[in-house]
Amino acid sequence: MLSPLADRTYRHLFAAQVLSLLGTGLLTVALGLLAFDLAGADAGAVLGTALAIKMVAYVGIAPVAGAFVHLLPRRTLLVLLDLVRAAIALALPWVGEIWQVYLLIGLLQSCSAAFTPTFQATIPDVLIDEAEYTKALSLSRLAYDMEALTSPVLAAALLSVIGYHWLFAGTVLGFATSAALVASVLLPSPKPPVHDEGAWSRTTRGARIYLATPRLRGLLALNLAVAAAGAMVIVNTVVLVRGTLGLGDAHLAWTLAAYGFGSMIAALSVPRLLERITDRAVMLTGATVLAGGLALGPAAASAWATLLALWVVLGFGNGLVLTPTGRLLRRSAEAGDRPALFAAQFALSHACWLLTYPLAGWLGAAAGMASTFAVLALLGALGAMLAWRLWPARDEAPSEHVHLDLPADHPHLAGAERLPAGGFRHAHPPLADGLHRSVSVG
């Protein structure tokens, strides 16, 4: 599991990711306290609006950023975005109006919408070996889960000795240190394929490749299943624990930790599972677990012990789907197209969350938890069934084809057979990127 850390470049990038995540976690706590200072009883509405701004930025900005990130070297771009995020976090403690919070959060999340897909697209260019990249994906999943567990604890410890405004300093430090770590290594910056495209075509390029690729159409449906279960956990855990069961804050923390624990078990298991079975089988199993777990929700939520067990199961299903995602994106396009493709995944997956977040909240308030579990279970089952249909197993079989317009030294042609009549023949699972617009089959 830890062998990718032997690579110095990846080691620095992973440390940058961990510190950036910790900074973001502290920001989440500090922002809630700032909202309460500014809005009092209306703090929930302020945070809800800030969350909506975040999702809109993710959905709207990521594809645009993915189309133009190649204009700067990746290292320069990532460092600049980290420094801008640090500057915005530094400004947040000084705001005195709610609209200023919205403005700064919009700017910060716009930077994150450009940073995160670019960062994710860089890792497969650093770790060329697929087995090492798979382990790196598991490490990344563990980092996200550990942040969810440790950031609130760290924030609570800091708040016992300092005011909440100082938590923003921790966020600044996290982003600044991330920038320093990224700046300390050399990063590949593959250029996208040269095409005569306008700004709109470049902006939608990642989405077009995404939606033309069967495995990625299946991934979009899987994102819906993940968002259905995740929204239930994130939005309604506090309602179930504090309201339905009448338990305290400590029980709430342990319940959320159970979800993270289940995801961590999956992240640790996935590399070995993928040595034996396909990505499709692992991810469809995860979606089935999510839909089935949600269906059992009304019965499991009647006692804390069974709710804990259910949250572990949902976390496990979440990890089975999300951990291999980078492998699908990596094998669906050449290096130059990956930033646009990762940006498309970032935007489309958050569009699913933009649907399920309010659905989980409004249904819970209007119809009760049993109905909310049932509707989200149906949504999760729909995602799993659509993924099964949109991503047929046969579409992963290598397809033999001929490239007529690529130079002999092109990396994609490694091991290809040169044909006497011209062109190169090889086989691999279907791709829908720019290299495969003018291939002939056979």
DSSP string, 2-49: -GGGGSHHHHHHHHHHHHHHHHHHHHHHHHHHHHHHHHGGGHHHHHHH
pLDDT exceeds cutoff 80 at 156: no
Q: How many residues does the chain have?
A: 442
**Who wins on pLDDT, 125 or 71?**
125
pLDDT digits (tens, 9 = 90+) for 402-436: 766 667 766 666 666 677 767 777 666 666 555 65
| Sign of the four-CA dihedral 272, 274, 277, 282 | positive
Residue 69 vs residue 367, higher pLDDT: 367
Tell me the helices (H) and strands (E) count for the chain, helix number first.
15, 4
**What's the rounded mean pLDDT across residues 179-192?**
82
pLDDT (mean) for 128-142: 80
Asked if 132 and 30 sit in the same domain, the reply is: yes
Q: Where is pLDDT greater, at 232 or 434?
A: 232
Query: Could you tell me if 139 and 21 lie in one domain?
Result: yes
Question: Which residue, 189, 222, 257, sits at the end of a domain?
Answer: 189
Residues 413 and 288 both lie in one domain: no
Highest mean pLDDT among 3-7, 161-165, 403-407: 3-7
What angle, 0 to 180 degrees and rounded to 10, lies between the N-to-C axes of helices 279-295 and 369-390?
A: 160
The residue that leads in pLDDT, 442 or 381, is 381
Confidence (pTM): 0.79
Q: Which of 357, 374, 394 is the last residue of a domain?
A: 394
Please say if the pLDDT value at position 29 is more than 60.
yes
For residue 244, being part of any structural domain is answered with: yes
Average pLDDT, stretch 248-273? 84
Element (H, E) at 133: helix 130-159
184 and 259 share one domain: no
Say yes or no: 123 and 236 in one domain.
Answer: no
* Domain shared by 379 and 423, yes or no: no
Mean pLDDT within 239-249: 82
142 and 177 share a domain? Answer: yes
* 228/319 same-domain check: yes
* Two tokens, residue 113: 């919408």
- pLDDT at position 441 is 44
Q: How confident is the model at residue 386 (pLDDT cuts 50, 70, 90)?
A: very high
Residue 198 belongs to some domain of the structure: no
Question: Is residue 86 assigned to a domain?
Answer: yes
Q: Is residue 195 part of a domain?
A: no
Q: Are residue 157 and residue 272 in the same domain, yes or no?
A: no
Instruction: For residue range 275-300, list pLDDT tens digits in order.
Output: 899 999 999 999 999 999 999 999 98
Residue 122 scores a pLDDT above 60: yes
Kindly state whether residues 118 and 155 are assigned to the same domain. yes
How are the residues of the chain apportioned to helix, strand and coil, as percentages rounded to the nearest 5? Answer: 80, 5, 15
The predicted pLDDT at position 326 comes to 85
Indicate the pLDDT class of residue 105, thresholds 50, 70 and 90. Answer: confident
How high is the pLDDT of residue 179?
A: 92
Domain assignment of residue 200, yes or no: no
Q: Are residues 367 and 408 in the same domain?
A: no
107 with 52: CB under 8 angstroms? no
Identify the pLDDT of residue 198. 65
Does position 442 have pLDDT exceeding 50, yes or no? Answer: no
| 148: nearest Cα among 297, 310, 43, 26 | 26
Predicted pLDDT of residue 396: 61
Tokens standing for 329?
Answer: 């994106």
Residues 315 and 402 in one domain: no
CATH number for the domain spanning 374: value is 1.20.1250.20
**Mean pLDDT estimate for the chain:** 82
- Mean pLDDT of all residues in 94-107: 85
196 part of a folded domain: no
Predicted pLDDT of residue 344: 85
pLDDT at 330: 84
pLDDT beyond 90 at 210: no
Structural domain harbouring 213: 205-394
Residue 194 maps to a domain: no
- Sheet containing 439-441: give its strands across: 417-418, 424-428, 399-403, 439-441
* % of the chain with per-residue pLDDT over 90: 22
Query: Is residue 318 predicted with pLDDT exceeding 90?
Result: yes
Q: For 212-223, what is each residue's pLDDT tens digit?
A: 888 899 999 999
Mean pLDDT (whole number) for 306-317: 95
Q: Is residue 302 part of a domain?
A: yes
Number of separate domains in the chain: 3
Please give the average per-residue pLDDT across 305-332, as a whole number: 91
Residue ending a domain, choose from 189, 224, 257? 189
Q: Is the pLDDT of residue 112 over 80?
A: yes
Q: Please say whether the beta carbons of 113 and 62 come within 8 A.
A: yes
Q: What is the pLDDT of residue 246?
A: 86
